[in-house]
Structure 1
Amino acid sequence: MSLAETVEKIDRLSDEQRECIENCNEAAEVCEWCADECLGDADMEECARLCRDVADLTSLHARFMARGSNYSSDLAGICADSCEACADECEQHDADHCQLCAEVLRECAETCREMASA
């Protein structure tokens, strides 16, 4: 069973929450990949640092949403801010992994903002 199928089975989640969880998990995965690709390049240290922060935050936010935590909306705003900062950094680099990461993070930031204001 895929993660998306598992998330579908959590019946108390709205479609928007499901989408945000999926986006957060995708962001965590792409950020781990991007950070790993940036390792060893001094010009990419900030990118790697931000990607690692986002991977941790988005993973945590997805878990908070899945369990219905009262802190989820607070964390959603932090996730959106971190995704936007990381996307800004990634967009400065020509590497394919950075460009893909920025694209995924923009989408994640948007759904996290919606959760923060819900």
Structure 2
Amino acid sequence: MSLAETVDKIDSLTDEQRECIENCNEATEVCEWCADECLGDPDMEECARLCRDVADLTSLHARFMARGSEYSSTLAEACAEACEACAEECSNHDAEHCQVCAEVLPECAETCREMANA
């Protein structure tokens, strides 16, 4: 069973929450990949740091939403801000992993911001 199929089985989630969880999980994966690829390159240290922050925040936010945590909306705002900062940093680099991050993260930021304002 895929992660999306598992998320679909959580009856208490709205369609918007499901979308945000899926976006957060995708952001987690792409940022872990990007951070790993940036290791050892002094010019990529900020990129790696931001990607690690995003991976941790998006992973945590997805878990908070799945369990209906009352702190989810507070975390959603931090998640959106980190995604935006990381996307901006990654867009400055030509590496494929950075370009994928810069492409994926704005959508995650948008859905997280919607969750923060819900």
Q: TM-score range, shorter-chain basis? A: over 0.9
Counterpart residue identity of residue 10, structure 1: I
TM-score, with structure 2 as normaliser: 0.99
Check if 1:58 corresponds to 2:58.
Answer: yes
Question: What is the rounded CA distance, in whole Å, between the counterparts of 2:5 and 2:111 in structure 1?
Answer: 19
Post-superposition shift, 1:102?
Answer: 1.0
Give distance in 2, aligned partners of 1:62 and 1:47.
22
Aligned to 2:19: 19
Cα distance in 2 for residues equivalent to 1:5 and 1:46: 35
Residues 37-71 of structure 1, C-alpha deviation per residue, up to 9 Å, x if partnerless?
10111000000000000000000000000000000
Among all aligned residue pairs of Structure 1 and Structure 2, give the percentage whose two residues are the same amino acid.
Answer: 85
Unaligned runs of 5+ in 2: none
**Cα distance in 1, alignment partners of residues 21 and 102 from structure 2:** 18
Task: Tell me the equivalent position of 1:30.
Answer: 30
Q: Where do 1:59-78 residues align within 5 Å?
A: 59-78=59-78
In the alignment of these two chains, the number of paired residues is: 118
Aligned partner of 2:41 in structure 1 is 41
Instruction: Note the residue ranges of structure 1 that are not aligned, 5 or more in a row.
Output: none
TM-score after normalising by structure 1: 0.99
**Aligned partner letter, 1:58:** T
Q: CA separation in 2, counterparts of 1:108 and 1:116?
A: 12
TM-superposed CA distance for 1:97, in Å, is 0.7
